[in-house]
Amino acid sequence: MSKRPLEEPIQPPKLSKSGEAAAEIKVTTKRQKNSSSEWTPSSWTTKPIKQEVVYNDLAKVQKALAKLEQLPPIVTPTEIIKLRKSLRDVALGKAFLLQGGDCAELFDYCEENAIESKIKLLLQMSLVLIWGANRPVVRIARMAGQYAKPRSSPTEMHEGNEIPSFRGDILNGYAVEDRTPDPARLVSAYYHSAATLNFIRASLASGIADLHSPLDWELGHVKDEKIRAQYTRIVDSITESLQFMRTVGADSSASGLETVDLYTSHEGLLLEYEQSLTRRLKHPPSHPAFLPARVSSDQQVNGHQESASDGKGWYNTSAHFLWIGDRTRQLTGAHVEYFRGLENPIGIKVGPTMTSPELIALLDVVNPPKDIGKVTLITRYGEHNIASLLPGHIEAVKKSGHVVVWQCDPMHGNTKSTPSGVKTRQFSSILSEVSSALRIHREQSSFLGGVHLELTGDAVTECVGGSEGLTEGDLSVNYTTYCDPRLNEKQALEMAFLVAGHYRDEKRA
């Protein structure tokens, strides 16, 4: 079988005066001379880039990327467009989006128990949210690819020495001796992603999400008797509803209670990797381009010209959903350039430094046709900033004509360090930002479409507060994150209870 070449091969490094290649090679400094606005999977290389990667061996980088070009897609266009349709419902207030998983996924998390625990937690949370909001829940996991993390500095101090920062398993290891970026990790990331998603699919097909099976709703950790009684009533209501459906046979003729859709996502940070898994593939029949209003002989799709008769588009096949981080959302930068050409639904992190004009300009670049729900705005202001920022952003988006998914990330704006330097998050701050988002959207006649949480199915002690009553003194008990602190399974489920309770109270008001 013949090799399919890279869209734009990496250029050889410049030689020094002695004729030897430089010891350090910035892969992302390769740039095309063509400054045309026409989009290709490699047109991002004409733009300035943040969070660039330095490798020592260009030949190994080329070998790894060439291997990725040969490997089959991890996800399919049919799955991607199915998610786009579901997110359209979220944007229109007909469904709710639950997105959650590890801050920095490790290769070691590609293991049966770790994967199952997150699937089960997301299932339980979604059941609670369905009960509360009385809407379908779209589930997206930060799994099967969340291996790269942006850092505020490329280096850090360790025992008096400056070493490269840990930037995720796709680039380097956490151990001091593994901090040099290794191109072989690019291919390893692909295989760990594929294996994780393969196990997710097999687990769902084998009945892990079958609602005929009993679920573990153990609430012994809830110390406050009033809160425990409230949660118990919610669980009893969900259980009774499922039992009633079984009794009347409402679930006997359909598979809706036996499995669910669970999509994968990660931050699209490492563009060499993403480019290598971007393929021009045939659109499924449900693609928006096949709708009568969108078909023409020469239509504008995602910012570049594409013939409707071609019936194909550019899909990132590494995940169903990717997002642009707050550090890499520059309007004229490489990441925005890459994302604007994708058929995948995409997210944009919206932080305190985002101005309304910049936000609208970004939406115009990545979604010129203004497809409903194509873009998810993941707001991450912090509990003390949301009231002064979110209303203006909502108003600006309304006036622009874009219809987006509004999603609250209450984690990243509420990170703090203890006096001893341990990063943590206060559960009450996380809840406060979500509660403020719900209230502000209601006041603005808008709709909070979902939440974006860093969580794990394990009993970690990384965020303080919640019904367990964790304190800073408890952080050392089971603090296992290699990056940012995550909600444990009890705190994450409690968050779902509280959001569901808000929707129930709103209906009664």
- How far is 60 from 186, CA to CA, in rounded Å? 10
CB contact at 8 A, 167 and 175? no
Amino acid at residue number 301: V
The owner of tokens 């970026």 is 181
- What DSSP string runs through 260-312? --EEEEEE---HHHHHHTEEEEEPPTTSGGGSGGG--SSEEETTEEE-GGG-E
SS3 371: coil
- How far is 40 from 34, CA to CA, in rounded Å? 11
Nearby residues of 498 by Cβ (< 8 Å), 6 or more positions away: 431, 434, 435
Phi-psi region of 235 (alpha: psi -120 to 50; beta: other; left: phi over 0): alpha
CB contact at 8 A, 454 and 427? no
Q: Give the CA dihedral 52, 53, 58, 64, nearest 10 degrees.
A: -110
β-partners of residue 60 are none
Residue 330: both structure tokens together:
């520059």
Binding-site residue set for phosphoenolpyruvate: 142, 349, 380
Binding-site residue set: 103, 142, 349, 380, 412, 454, 484
Binding-site residue set for Mn(2+): 103, 412, 454, 484
- How far is 140 from 117, CA to CA, in rounded Å? 15
The full length of the chain comes to: 509
β-partners of residue 199 are none
Counting Cα atoms < 13 Å in the Cβ hemisphere of 398 gives 11
CB contact at 8 A, 349 and 325? yes
- Which sign does the torsion angle of CA 453, 454, 460, 461 carry? negative
β-partners of residue 378 are 349, 407
Amino acid at residue number 118: K
- How far is 201 from 206, CA to CA, in rounded Å? 9
CA angle 258, 264, 270 (to 5 degrees): 170
